[in-house]
């Protein structure tokens, strides 16, 4: 069982050929949120890129949005949207990590660091531990 939830930024680095990101994914086989899959699909510029995104995302454990995750995300939004600017998609990603007891790996620590109960690690730190 894996212990990490990779944010979209980790997969973007992997798709760009960052060897550390690829090594992290291969070594730890992190889970991803369905939000990450959607964000990567939206960023695809053509059918070839979209096919590559789908193949990579399907090779990982995708966490889908269920009632528990939705509820946790809405609680996070009510606490942190006005005070910290938390957006819905980041709330879903954070809720997925919290509800599944996973450490979130992200390059956007500022989007998540204020959330109590969320274990978050900068991807540079995670990559350095390889």
Separation CA 67–CA 114 (nearest Å):
23
Task: Quickly name the fold that domain 4-128 has.
Answer: Rossmann fold (3.40.50)
Measured distance between the N- and C-terminal CA atoms of the chain, rounded to whole angstroms: 18
Buried residues in 42-72 as b, exposed as e (16+ CB within 10 A): eeeeeeeeeeebeebbeebeebeeeeebeeb
Taking only Cα atoms into account, the Rg of the chain, rounded to an integer number of angstroms, comes to 14
Q: What is the mean pLDDT of residues 61-85?
A: 98
Average pLDDT, the chain: 96
Whole-model pTM? Answer: 0.95
What is the tens place of the pLDDT at every residue in 35-54?
A: 999 999 999 999 999 999 99
Domain borders along the chain are 4-128
């Amino acid at each position: 069982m894996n212990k990490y939830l990779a944010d979209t930024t980790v997969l973007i680095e992997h798709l760009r050929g960052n060897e550390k990101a690829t090594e992290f994914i291969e070594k730890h086989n992190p889970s991803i949120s369905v939000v990450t899959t959607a964000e990567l699909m939206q960023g695809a510029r053509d059918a070839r890129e979209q096919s590559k995104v789908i193949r990579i995302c399907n090779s990982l454990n995708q966490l889908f949005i269920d009632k528990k995750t939705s509820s946790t995300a809405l609680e996070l939004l009510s606490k942190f949207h006005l005070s910290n600017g938390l957006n819905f998609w980041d709330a879903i990603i954070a809720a997925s990590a919290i509800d599944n007891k996973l450490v979130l790996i992200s390059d956007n620590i500022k989007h998540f660091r204020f959330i109590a109960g969320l274990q978050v690690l900068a991807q540079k730190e995670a990559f350095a531990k390889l």
